[in-house]
Amino acid sequence: MVARWVGFALVVGLAAAGASAAVADITASAAASFSQAGLDQISNYMRREIATGKIPGAMLLIQQHGKPVYYQKFGLRDVPAKLPMTDDTIFRLYSMSKPITAVAAMMLVDDGKLSLDDPVAKYIPAFADVKVGVEKRDESGKQALILEPLQRPITVLDLLRQTSGLTYGFYGEGAVRKLYAHSDLYSGEFDNAEFAARLAKLPLVEQPGRVWDYGHSIDVLGRVIEVVSGKSLFEFEKERLLDPLGMTDTAFYVADETKRPLIAQFMPNDLLPSIAGIKDPTEHSRWESGGAGMVGTLGDYARFAQMLLNGGTLDGKRYLKPETVALMTSDHIGPGSGIAYTYLYFLGTHSGYGLGLAVITSPPPHNRWQAGEYGWDGVAGTFFYVDPKDDLFVLCMMQTPSHRGEIETELPILIGRAMRH
C-alpha cells in the first residue's frame, strides 16, 4: 500500500453547482507554467492505463494560481453499465477523509475549545485506563503479551500525528494487531462513541508519543470533535466546513438514491474487500469514520485543497488561521521529535508527517518533488498533493485499489516534466 503517500490506506474556480463550466475555463496565463506537449504526455499515459484494462477511468485536475491548468476526465465510472466519468461522479475517499477530519479538529483549536495538549481521556474517559501490549518471553521461554500501564496520556496531538499507539488490524504482524483483527470492532451497528469505547478495551501497540503508527487515531479524533462540539461529526463538519466550502456532495454515504448511479465503481475483477469496517457507500451507517468513511466529488475536494493552499481561506471566508495551516503542514515526527519509525513506516525516507497530512522533507535527487509539499491519498485510488512553492495542487480521483500505487507514483513525475521552470 505504498505510493507517493500512504493511504488507506491527496478551487477557487470550482463552484459547487458549476464545476463543469469552471474547470473548462483553462486560461492561457495559468497554462503558461506548463508545456502542452508535457500535458499531452499525461493524457496519453492515463489513456494507456485505461486501454490496458488497469483502471476503469479517472479524473485529474492540476490547479495553479487559483485557476485550472489541466482538467481531464478519462474512461468510465462504471464499466458494466458503460457510464462515463462526469463532473458529478462520486468517489470513495477512504483515507482522504483524514485531512478533512484534521481540519475540523483544528478549527476547534482555533476556536479555543480544544488544545493539542489535552489528554484524550478528558473527552473519552475510557482512554485513561488503556494499556500497552508488549510481547515478552515468559519464564518458560514462550512469547506472551504483557499489558503495561501508560507512561503518559494519549493527547489530541498524538491523534493528529498518528503517534497515539492506536493501529489497524489489517496489516502487519504482532499480537496486538492480531487482537485488532479478531476483535468485535466492526460488529453490528455502532456510532463513534461506541467505536471509541471498543478501541479503548484493546491494548495500544506502542506507548503514546513514541512511534508513528498508522491506525484508528483519526477515528478517535472524530469522536473528540463530537464531544467538544456537542454535534455528530458530520453535523459539525457540514455546518462549519463542508457547506460553507460548497462541498455539498461530501458525506459519509450517498443518501440521495438518485445520485447513487454517480458512484464510481472498481473494475469488475478489482473489488476492494471491507477494510477497517468501511462498507458499501450506499448503506446508511451510524458510524461516521473520520479516518476513512467519506465519499465526495473532485469538485468538492478541489475547494478543500485550494483552501489549504490559500492558507486557510476561500472566497473571502477564513476557515483556519494561516499559522494553523503552517502547523498542520510541518513535519512533526522528524529528527529531534523523539518519534521512531517502525518497519511498517509507509511514508518512506523522503516524507514526514504533519497533522493529518504527509509532508515532503528531503526530496530525492532528479525528482520534481519539493520540500514542503503535502498531501494524502486513499486506498481506492484518490490522492492529492499541494505544492505551496509553485502555488498549485494536483487532485486525482479514480477507483483502482490494485494499480493506484504505480499511477500515484508516475503521475507526479509526468506533471513535473510538464512544468516549465
Dump the DSSP string for 193-251. Answer: HHHHHHHHTSPBSS-TTTEE--STHHHHHHHHHHHHHTS-HHHHHIIIIIHHHT-TT-B
Position 304: which residue type? F
Q: What is the mean pLDDT of residues 73-98?
A: 97
| pLDDT value of residue 421 | 63
| pLDDT value of residue 245 | 98
| pLDDT value of residue 32 | 58
| pLDDT value of residue 420 | 77
pLDDT 10s digits, 188-214: 999 999 999 999 999 999 999 999 999
Beta pairing, strands 392-398 & 383-387: antiparallel
pLDDT band at 167 (very low <50, low <70, confident <90, very high): very high
pLDDT 10s digits, 10-65: 332 333 333 333 344 444 444 558 999 999 999 999 999 999 999 999 999 999 99
Beta pairing, strands 392-398 & 143-148: unpaired
Percentage with pLDDT > 90 across the chain: 79
In the block, cell 484508528 appears at 216
Q: Write b or e for each residue in 290-310: b if 16 or more Cβ atoms lie within 10 A of its Cβ, otherwise e.
A: bbbbbbbbbbbbbbbbbbbbb
* Radius of gyration for the chain, computed over Cα atoms and rounded to the nearest angstrom: 21
pLDDT 10s digits, 272-312: 767 778 888 999 989 999 999 999 999 999 999 999 999 99
| pLDDT value of residue 366 | 66
Q: What is the mean pLDDT of residues 231-260?
A: 97
Q: What is the mean pLDDT of residues 150-176?
A: 95
Q: What is the mean pLDDT of residues 92-96?
A: 96
Mean pLDDT, the chain, integer:
90
3-state helix, strand, coil in the chain (%, to 5): 35, 20, 50
Judge whether residue 6 has pLDDT over 70: no
